[in-house]
Amino acid sequence: MSTRIEYDLLLVGGSPSNLTLAYHFLELAKESGKEFSICILEKGKEFGSHVMSGAVSNPHVLKKIWPNYEELGFPIEAVCNDSNFSVLGVRNKFDMPSFMYPKELDKTGYFVLTLSYVTGWMAKQVQEKAKDVPNVAIDLFTGFAAHGVVFEDGRVAGVQVSEQARSEEDYVYAKFTAFGDKGFISRDVIDHFKLRDCPQIWSVGVKEVWQCNQNYEGKVWHTLGWPLLDGTFGGGFVYGMKDNKLTIGMVISLDSPDPNMNPQLKLQQYKEHPWIQEMIKGGKLLKYGAALLPEGGYYSLPKKFAVPGAVLLGDALGVLDVKQLAGIDRSMECGYVAAEVLHDALIKQDYSEAALAPYQERLTNSFVVKESYKDRYFRWAFIENPRLLGEYLPTVTSGIDNDGHPFMGMLKVGLKNPFRAAGDGIRSLSLIEGIKDIGPIKYEADYKHIIPSFVAPKYDQPDYDKTTIYSRPDAVFYASTKYHEGNKHIDEFNADVCVTCIQKYEGLGKTTPCVADCTAEVHRIDIIDDLKRHGMSLENCIHCRTCEIVCPEVNLRVRPTEQGSGPDFLGL
């Protein structure tokens, strides 16, 4: 006879938000002396193996939770001592004076981090803290994913922990469940309770880590321009780390009009720039990976941050601030606040939705939501006016390439249509800075922005070292993917829909978005009985969910893998 497995608190995902929650909850439980049981489920083979981020982070929340972080060996790659915002032409780079870009982009004093290592460190701190709190029984399980949400009597009761549930042992139940995932499973909570009126919109981050021959420790660049000169929102980043390592990456919004945008190829084009070529000359690629970022901001936040039996944290909630390029500290703050609210509710044995209401109230009054509100129109400014990135930015970068200065390009923009350019500039700046209030906005799903016939502009690139550029199949090797036999974690709902989609895009001389925009080498087109059909090489998947977001027919879903399968992002 199977036994129902039940905890007081179930944390889905070994994320910074959930690990912060667990650690602070242990602190509170030590003070209260009450007995509790906690379970943390992490789908990766170890904590951090499925975590990837830029990352340059404000350490203020870290210092609040772990004031002795240095003594505990917190893994810092560097402290930013040289922060730059640069515009790239095809050949040249221009570092903007600080007065010309938002002060939030000045990362001086921030920590340059490898988030996978940080997550592993946090898990270790939770385990060490638990030794000092005998009244709390805590289980940390790696290689266990949540495959479905259990709803009972109008509340979240737990999760299903195997793809094929056959008995009670395939479920984990809890009085309260916290979701800190990137939407793999939390989306079902949001959909079930109809929490989101404005869709979440997404970008994909693609990143490489290089071993270089020069030291760039503490130097940080965020870039605009090349190779995103087709109207797609996004930019690049280069972070100098210790031991002559360099992070090179791009964040590219998935509302691109280009159905064949190809994020991994964009990263290679970024690296072809002479500025980056000089930095990686004679270097060696160490790691590659990709991950989604929720970038809808304030208006994509769920109407409720908590529902009966559950709370949403971090990326599940969508607290990333795109304007400030900040998400880690916000996710950790979610975990910190949630720990106090959940501890209080469990002590009172109050399992009602009302008991969780302070979670949203406190976050709303914190920097997390206040700053999100201030930056609420940042993405909308670029969606509302496609000229900003599709027309003005390429003209500005042409000035950088022609005379090394963007102002010549800006002059061309002004001379071409001075009244329109001035009006666009005033309007966009007022939205970006949150000065103008236009009321609530509503995004369209990313795939709805695709223009099937879109033709991206072509540019002649200078010479580059071809040994520094990697094809998509080769890049997968550096993501260290490993899957169990019989791995089938992407659902294709209707094969005939894919056939029609392939015919449509091939009729326009293109391939389908799922094939083109895959950050690994998963989706392919097979010819079966003289008919072109969608196929998948799932052993290559790096679990980023880009294919699902850009599928024009909403015909794919990426599910969590089993047994710790997937990429190994440790070191990213």
Give me 470's structure tokens. Answer: 């990697």
- Kindly state whether residue 40 falls inside one of the protein's structural domains: yes
DSSP lists the bridge partners of residue 202 as: 294
Q: How many other β-carbons are positioned within 10 Å of the β-carbon of residue 212?
A: 19
Distance CA 90, CA 97 (A): 20
Q: Which residues, 6+ apart, have CB-to-CB distance to 126 below 8 Å?
A: 19, 22, 23, 26, 40, 138, 140
Q: Which residues, 6+ apart, have CB-to-CB distance to 299 below 8 Å?
A: 198, 376, 440, 441, 442, 443
Q: Do 328 and 386 sit in the same domain of this protein?
A: no
- Kindly state whether residue 431 falls inside one of the protein's structural domains: yes
- Kindly state whether residue 291 falls inside one of the protein's structural domains: no
Contact 76, 107 (CB under 8 A): no
Read off the pLDDT band of 311 (50, 70, 90): very high
* CATH code, 325: 3.50.50.60
Give me 260's structure tokens. Answer: 């064949």
pLDDT digits (tens, 9 = 90+) for 139-172: 999 999 999 999 999 999 999 998 888 888 899 9
Q: Do 121 and 178 sit in the same domain of this protein?
A: yes
Q: Which residues, 6+ apart, have CB-to-CB distance to 527 below 8 Å?
A: 533
Strands (E), 226-303: 234-240, 245-253, 284-294
pLDDT digits (tens, 9 = 90+) for 44-53: 999 999 999 9
Nearest 5°: the CA angle 83, 465, 263 is: 60
Contact 543, 566 (CB under 8 A): yes
Q: What is the DSSP letter of 389?
A: I
3-state secondary structure of 88: strand
The amino acid that residue 49 corresponds to is S
Residue 416 has pLDDT above 90, yes or no: no
Contact 515, 524 (CB under 8 A): yes
Q: Which residues, 6+ apart, have CB-to-CB distance to 407 below 8 Å?
A: 399
- Kindly state whether residue 236 falls inside one of the protein's structural domains: no
- Kindly state whether residue 501 falls inside one of the protein's structural domains: yes
Number of domains in the chain: 3
Q: Do 422 and 483 sit in the same domain of this protein?
A: no
* CATH code, 521: 3.30.70.20
Q: How many other β-carbons are positioned within 10 Å of the β-carbon of residue 195?
A: 18
Burial of 558 per CB tally in 10 Å (0-12, 13-18, 19+)? buried
- Kindly state whether residue 528 falls inside one of the protein's structural domains: yes
Q: Work out whether the CA dihedral 178, 18, 140, 137 comes out positive or negative.
A: negative
Phi, psi of 262 (to 5 degrees): 60, 80
Percent above pLDDT 90 for the chain = 90
Q: Measured between alpha carbons, how far is residue 218 from residues 22, 76, 109, 326, 556 in Å?
A: 31, 11, 9, 18, 41
pTM of this prediction?
A: 0.96
Q: Do 386 and 307 sit in the same domain of this protein?
A: no
- What residues make up the domain containing 509? 479-558
3-state secondary structure of 443: coil
Q: What is the mean pLDDT of the chain?
A: 95
Q: Do 168 and 62 sit in the same domain of this protein?
A: yes
Residues 112-134, mean pLDDT to the nearest whole number: 98
Residue 335 has pLDDT above 60, yes or no: yes
pLDDT digits (tens, 9 = 90+) for 252-275: 999 999 999 999 999 999 999 999
Q: Do 358 and 406 sit in the same domain of this protein?
A: no
pLDDT digits (tens, 9 = 90+) for 226-244: 999 999 999 999 999 999 9
Q: Do 495 and 534 sit in the same domain of this protein?
A: yes
Q: Do 38 and 127 sit in the same domain of this protein?
A: yes
Give me 510's structure tokens. Answer: 């293109």
pLDDT digits (tens, 9 = 90+) for 459-516: 988 899 999 999 999 999 999 999 988 889 999 999 999 999 999 999 999 999 999 9
Which of 331, 348, 374 is at the close of a domain? 374
pLDDT reported for residue 417: 80
Residue with tokens 């989604």: 292
- Kindly state whether residue 125 falls inside one of the protein's structural domains: yes
pLDDT reported for residue 408: 72
Which of 332, 359, 374 is at the close of a domain? 374
pLDDT digits (tens, 9 = 90+) for 131-144: 999 999 999 999 99
Distance CA 568, CA 478 (A): 9
pLDDT reported for residue 2: 63
Distance CA 185, CA 177 (A): 12
Q: Do 18 and 127 sit in the same domain of this protein?
A: yes
Q: Do 547 and 520 sit in the same domain of this protein?
A: yes
pLDDT reported for residue 210: 98
Phi, psi of 311 (to 5 degrees): -130, 155
The amino acid that residue 564 corresponds to is G
Contact 571, 209 (CB under 8 A): yes
- Kindly state whether residue 235 falls inside one of the protein's structural domains: no
Q: Do 341 and 416 sit in the same domain of this protein?
A: no
3-state secondary structure of 433: coil
Read off the pLDDT band of 563 (50, 70, 90): confident
Helix and strand numbers, DSSP H then E, in the chain: 19, 22
pLDDT reported for residue 533: 97
Which of 343, 374, 405 is at the close of a domain? 374
Read off the pLDDT band of 199 (50, 70, 90): very high
Whose CA is closest to 251, among 269, 231, 233?
233
Q: Do 487 and 364 sit in the same domain of this protein?
A: no
Helices (H), 319-392: 328-348, 357-364, 367-374, 378-384, 387
pLDDT reported for residue 77: 98
pLDDT digits (tens, 9 = 90+) for 186-197: 999 999 999 999
Residues 404-425, mean pLDDT to the nearest whole number: 80
